[in-house]
Amino acid sequence: MKEDNITANMLELEFGMNTSAGLLFNRLSTPSGLSEWFADDVNLSGNIFTFIWDKMEHLAEVIEKKENKHIRFRWIDHPDYGDNHTFEFKLSVRDITGELSLQVTETISEDDEVEDVISLWNYQISELKRVLGI
């Protein structure tokens, strides 16, 4: 089940994930985990992640992290985004079903094509699920 919520300059997507929080959080917060589904390659130096797509490097700083709960990144040199462009992965357990939920929140600008951003995240999360075998 997926839910979409778009508020002023924020896009929130929610995905049900049939896996453990620890296993999922590893794929969301480590260079090796992120390179399996999110980018071609990922490196870490301090709290700065270098994401590599098509041989192009983009830097993101971890600005908030709570183990097995959430991690928030801020792009610090991406040519398409300003300094306040963030994305976050947040884990929670749904009260009714007990299912693990992954919420993806991303800052979007007025120029962003919302449908394209949603489509990209849907693809990325399907890749994550494939890597996890779910």
Global confidence as pTM: 0.88
The predicted-structure confidence for 42-60, as pLDDT tens digits, reads as follows 999 999 999 999 999 999 9
Q: Does residue 28 sit in helix, strand or coil?
A: helix
Write the CA distances from 73 to 12, 70, 76, 99, 130, integer angstroms. 15, 10, 9, 25, 23
pLDDT band at 1 (very low <50, low <70, confident <90, very high): very low
Q: Does residue 24 sit in helix, strand or coil?
A: helix
Q: Does residue 120 sit in helix, strand or coil?
A: helix
Q: Which residue has the tokens 């778009």?
A: 6
CA distance 128 to 133: 9
Mean pLDDT computed over every residue of the chain: 90
Indicate the residue type of 60.
A
Q: Which residue has the tokens 């462009």?
A: 85
H-helix or E-strand containing 83? Answer: none
Phi, psi dihedral angles at 27 (to 5 degrees): -75, -15
The predicted-structure confidence for 80-94, as pLDDT tens digits, reads as follows 666 678 999 999 998
Where do the domains of the chain lie, and which CATH numbers do they carry?
A: 2-132 (3.30.530.20)
Phi, psi dihedral angles at 94 (to 5 degrees): -70, 130
